[in-house]
Chains A and B, each alone.
Chain A
Amino acid sequence: MRLGKLAGVSALKGQELGLVAVIIVLAVGFSFFNPDFLSADNFRNVLVAVAVVGIMAIGQCFVIIAKEIDLSVGSVMGLSGLCGAYAMAAGLNPVLGVIVALAVGMLAGLVNGLIVVYGRVDSFIVTLGMLSVARGLTYVISGGLPILISPSVMFLGQGQVFGVPVQVLIFFGLVVAGQIILKRSVLGQRVVAVGDNDEAARLSGIPLGSTRLTVFVFSGLAAAIAGLVYTAQVSVAEAQAGAGLELDVIAAVVIGGASLSGGRGSIIGAMLGAYLLGALRNAFILLALSPFLQQMSVGLVIVAAALFDQFRQGNFHYAAPTWLSFRRQ
């Protein structure tokens, strides 16, 4: 058996390359209509805008690779941001306030995970429930009123380090950490195995329960970090923070090449997916297009990305009419 290389790059890198190509084409294309699109300032604006969704997409990526789903991220984001702000407003040290926020997010993820693993309830249902429960809790705790956060924490969402906004640094840092964990840690590879074939994973000695629990805790943690960043960005914690974001988060992960049937995915892909969505929205604003068109286009992009993924996997020969010859099988 000789050591050899596969012709070409691995399947998933194909999706990432495809995304980069699309992003560049879009950037160049849109810049014809509005040259501001390619400016450094605008680039930074887009990154800042997508950081929150992007951070949550990192956690969601692990969940989706494990063949689960977490619909509660938007609500957990709001809940943890609010709990952190509440703690700080009640006099707690800002650092402890941050810890409270992170703990709340991880706890919500843990509850999701426990019900999925031990209650054997489908994650779609469990996290759908958590979506409502967490949002409700947010309203209960806040009484519907916004809470101002401590100024010392505001740098998380408004500060800069060497000209780079802090939340973007946090986002990139988490992307790198997430990719390393996914590809080079025992846990990451277990998540991939469980998502690919959970019975095979179980019989070969991988702990299904703890692996699944961990991905939900990751997702909750990511939601909490996103909540902190967002709250710092707008300087107040509001009860409706994060509402509806879960769909953007899942869309970013799927555009990035993860399959909802598990076993495949990349953090970098999720990051590119989040960026693409944000860049599109940004482009529509700069081109002064109707926000309704914006919404439609996002939906189209999601479906197009999924179709592209299927095409790359070579799954189209059943549908193709005989006169259309697909060399690839």
Chain B
Amino acid sequence: MAEPDRPTTASAAVVGLSKNFGAVRALKDVTVEFRAGMVTALLGENGAGKSTLIRLCSGELQPSSGRLLIEGRETIIPNPLAATKHGIAVVHQEPQLVAPMTVAENIFLARLGSRAAMEGHSRGVLVREARRLLVEIELADAFKDLNASSASLSAAERQLVEIARALAASPKVLFLDEPNSSLTRRETDRLFRIMSILRKKGVAVVLVSHRLGEVYEVADRIVVMRDGQKVGEGSADGLPKREAIMLMAGERLSQAASAEGSQARTAEASGRPVVSVRGASGVAFSNVDIEIHAGEIVGMAGLVGSGRTEIVRAVIGADPLLSGRIELNGRPVRIASPRNAVRRGISFISEERRTSVFYGHDIAFNLTSNVLDRFGRLGFFNQRSRMRFAQQRADSAGVVAPGVSTPMRALSGGNQQKVLLARALASDPSLVILDEPTRGVDVRTKAEMYKLIRDLAHVRGLAVWFISSEIEEILHLADRIVVVRQGRIVDNLTRGPRAAQIVASALGEKVDDATALLAG
């Protein structure tokens, strides 16, 4: 499928690029151009090869065969530092910041790589330059204090720092890998404004995202990948969304919002709530009242930073509850630690995979990490029972992998998320709390997870409480919606068109689109 050699002046291009990991062919003979002044969207399900392509272009990996061209010249990029010198920058899906350093220092982290750049490295200078950079990309008000440590930044702020850092090097080619998975509408709009600014400056922007609606708002060209190959390419008008989805999946696939395939509801929401929170106040929220009943799915909507994660962390005992009461099945309890919460039948999946996944170990280890005592006695366990249990549970969660001894690092984001869900269910909880359960997960896996989550509540009768910043997700999945703004509950509604409008306005979405979303 290699295209004939022809001269190209694109900012970056790959010709006949292939990458093998042992017997696995992650990328097969891919030829793509990323042109200056254009936003190219790279679409594809997890495992399609998008991340591999980016890693090859940014020097993290070396190709098995094929060529990399920068402005028409064949180039070898041996490592990421060389990539920056060639004008290539990457914004990663999971932001990696140096926690003890300030926001400004993290933005200009690359300066630590060169003595010349270190001069003038005083904090004051860095803050000034950071502010200048942020003003250029209209992010000046995104951070309260550029001199503050990065340790306490929210997931969205971390993502914004990562973006600023990539731009600090004035790149000619910018790869964005799921950049807005931690951002809500307002911040995503900001990101898109940055992308138009870059486009005007002649930067080649490459966007990888699963949020097709947003992608189509901003992309000029669409490139679709599947199974390591390029299967489609065209302008955003020439390759409409439905066609792109079909190309990605290789077959007719109904939209992720479809309710096909999920079983009929057999468990009705019960009368008495599984968990009841009264007058709870913590560091980032006050006077919160929430009830979750068995068999119902409650979605918590709100802007990033509104305090949703903080509320949930206090309920599971990860953070202290300053005042208020928590009742489980009618009885008041004090949940002092996450261990306590798990014991009492509450499971939690955190928003960021980096605080949930044991990266040095396999699926079985990650899945059974908190239920080992049930595979034996006297503190010891039977390895075979553990593996069998892990296999069963991974199968019912639909994890795609050669076996439960597969290292977690080898799994896609969507599969990792499924393993985490299986871990949460392993302790047979009565309440499952999910913080952004489909963040960075592809369309097909999202649909599978929605089915799983719905079955948990409607068939198995669990109480499900989830946090999401995606309006489609909330409207589609939740039986009841709780809206949080600035640490307070401002609305509590059952699903329906009125809910759609309220949630939309809470998230800063365009209100007239909301009802259309609910219908489609």
Binding site for B on A (CB under 8 A): 1-7, 10, 180, 183-187, 189-190, 192-193, 196-197, 199-207, 263-264, 317-318, 320-322, 325, 329
Are A205 and B342 closer than 8 Å at their CB atoms?
Answer: yes
**What is the CB-to-nearest-CB distance from B57 to chain A, in angstroms, rounded to a whole number?**
15
The 3 closest A-B pairs by CB, nearest first: A205-B342, A4-B402, A4-B403
Instruction: Tell which of A4, A197, A263 has the most Cβ of chain B within 10 Å.
Output: A197
Are B370 and A205 closer than 8 Å at their CB atoms?
Answer: yes
Are A203 and B356 closer than 8 Å at their CB atoms?
Answer: yes
**B341-392 CB contacts (< 8 Å) to partner A:** 341-343, 348, 350, 354-361, 365, 369-370, 372-373, 379-381, 383, 391
**What is the CB-to-nearest-CB distance from A278 to chain B, in angstroms, rounded to a whole number?**
29
Residue from B62, B343, B358 in contact with A197 in the complex, judged by beta carbons closer than 8 Å: B358
In the complex, which residue of chain A has the Cβ closest to the Cβ of B339? A205
Q: How far is the CA of A7 from the CA of B356 in the complex (A)?
A: 27
Question: For the side of the interface on B, what is the size category?
Answer: 35 or more
Are B391 and A200 closer than 8 Å at their CB atoms?
Answer: no
* Chain A residues near B76 (CB-CB < 8 A): 322
In the complex, which residue of chain A has the Cβ closest to the Cβ of B410? A6
Stretch at the interface among B106-114, B119-127, B393-401: B393-401
* Chain B residues near A190 (CB-CB < 8 A): 372
**What is the CB-to-nearest-CB distance from A310 to chain B, in angstroms, rounded to a whole number?**
14
Are A185 and B343 closer than 8 Å at their CB atoms?
Answer: no
* Chain B residues near A322 (CB-CB < 8 A): 62, 76, 78
Are B391 and A1 closer than 8 Å at their CB atoms?
Answer: yes
Are B338 and A202 closer than 8 Å at their CB atoms?
Answer: yes
Q: Does B423 contact A (CB under 8 A)?
A: yes
Q: Digit string of B47-85 for contact with A (CB within 8 Å is 1, else 0)?
A: 000000000000001100000000000001011000000
Q: How far is the CA of A151 from the CA of B404 in the complex (A)?
A: 54
Residue from A4, A200, A320 in contact with B357 in the complex, judged by beta carbons closer than 8 Å: A200
**Contacts A4-B402, A5-B403 known; 20 new A-B pairs at CB < 8 A:** A180-B380, A185-B381, A186-B373, A187-B379, A189-B365, A189-B369, A196-B361, A197-B354, A197-B358, A197-B359, A199-B355, A201-B369, A203-B318, A203-B338, A203-B355, A203-B356, A204-B369, A204-B370, A206-B339, A322-B76
* Chain B residues near A201 (CB-CB < 8 A): 358, 369
Residue from A5, A180, A264 in contact with B405 in the complex, judged by beta carbons closer than 8 Å: A5
Q: How far is the CA of A263 from the CA of B407 in the complex (A)?
A: 14
**What is the CB-to-nearest-CB distance from B204 to chain A, in angstroms, rounded to a whole number?**
24
* Chain A residues near B348 (CB-CB < 8 A): 203
Are A2 and B357 closer than 8 Å at their CB atoms?
Answer: no
A186-B380 contact in complex given A193-B369, A203-B318, C-beta closer than 8 Å: yes
Are B61 and A329 closer than 8 Å at their CB atoms?
Answer: yes
* Chain B residues near A6 (CB-CB < 8 A): 402-403, 405-406
Q: How far is the CA of A125 from the CA of B402 in the complex (A)?
A: 44
A1-B395 contact in complex given A6-B403, A204-B423, C-beta closer than 8 Å: yes
* Chain A residues near B359 (CB-CB < 8 A): 196-197
Are A1 and B383 closer than 8 Å at their CB atoms?
Answer: no
* Chain A residues near B399 (CB-CB < 8 A): 1
In the complex, which residue of chain A has the Cβ closest to the Cβ of B78? A322
Are A202 and B370 closer than 8 Å at their CB atoms?
Answer: no
Are B401 and A1 closer than 8 Å at their CB atoms?
Answer: yes
Are B379 and A206 closer than 8 Å at their CB atoms?
Answer: no
* Chain B residues near A203 (CB-CB < 8 A): 316, 318, 338, 348, 350, 355-356
Instruction: Tell which of B400, B403, B427 has the most Cβ of chain A within 10 Å.
Output: B403
* Chain A residues near B343 (CB-CB < 8 A): 205
In the complex, which residue of chain A has the Cβ closest to the Cβ of B23? A7
Residue from B79, B361, B365 in contact with A318 in the complex, judged by beta carbons closer than 8 Å: B79
**What is the CB-to-nearest-CB distance from B344 to chain A, in angstroms, rounded to a whole number?**
10
A3-B360 contact in complex given A185-B379, A203-B348, A322-B76, C-beta closer than 8 Å: no
Q: How far is the CA of A10 from the CA of B402 in the complex (A)?
A: 15
Residue from A189, A202, A207 in contact with B372 in the complex, judged by beta carbons closer than 8 Å: A189
* Chain B residues near A321 (CB-CB < 8 A): 78
* Chain B residues near A187 (CB-CB < 8 A): 379
Q: Digit string of B145-156 for contact with A (CB within 8 Å is 1, else 0)?
A: 000000000000
**B395-437 CB contacts (< 8 Å) to partner A:** 395, 399-406, 423, 427
* Chain A residues near B403 (CB-CB < 8 A): 1-6
